[in-house]
Chains A and B, each alone.
Chain A
Amino acid sequence: DAGVTQSPTHLIKTRGQHVTLRCSPISGHKSVSWYQQVLGQGPQFIFQYYEKEERGRGNFPDRFSARQFPNYSSELNVNALLLGDSALYLCASSGRGIPGGQTQYFGPGTRLLVL
């Protein structure tokens, strides 16, 4: 089975622009989570979706939003980009049941650079 896939792999934007990142979970997985990793730090949780509903949100501003589609793929949207949004954005998928206590599998990430 294919692992978690993300697109694009790299992206360069300018301040104030909008960006959409995409993630496809492992086949059969219904939960998708998004994380932001800035250079030199561990990933930080942004959102979790299960069965197309938001089940958790981290400490990120309203400029960050996400959604999950009927095929369980997901999009992360960031509006009004700031220089500080430059980071590696990671998507993780887990399990076939309600999230919690299950192994999370990460995709290769999207590197976003905001100039």
Chain B
Amino acid sequence: GIQVEQSPPDLILQEGANSTLRCNFSDSVNNLQWFHQNPWGQLINLFYIPSGTKQNGRLSATTVATERYSLLYISSSQTTDSGVYFCAVEGNAGNMLTFGGGTRLMVKP
């Protein structure tokens, strides 16, 4: 099946700093989503982005499907950005999402 790798696994930032999270995947995809999992376990949709670039406030994402990677940019980080960020992809052959291992982000005040 499709493989998804996220980097870095852990990230500690000072409030106000910028960061880039990376997601590499092993095959072509129908769907790529970025999620933020809060401390209560809720997966919050950030982006649906199988290709191209999108922006939502301080967050933006870019997927280069031909090179099989996606990037999530967080600018001017806030303590509320802390949590785990997951990338998940759906291959062309199936309907299921395959998740990466996540990036655990801690933003310090």
Question: Interface on A for B, CB 8 Å cutoff?
Answer: 31, 33, 35, 37, 41-45, 48, 55-56, 58, 88, 90, 92, 99-106, 108-109, 111
Contacts and interface: CB of A to CB of B under 8 A. Distances in A.
A88 B100 CA distance: 16
Nearest to B48: A103
B56 interface: no
B72 to A, nearest CB: 15
Contacts, number: 62
Interface residues of B, number: 23
Nearest to B102: A42
B33 A41 contact: no
Among A33, A45, A56, A109, max chain B CB count under 10 A is at: A45
A108 B90 contact: no
Among B50, B95, B97, max chain A CB count under 10 A is at: B95
A104 B48 CA distance: 9
B40 A108 contact: yes
B62 interface: no
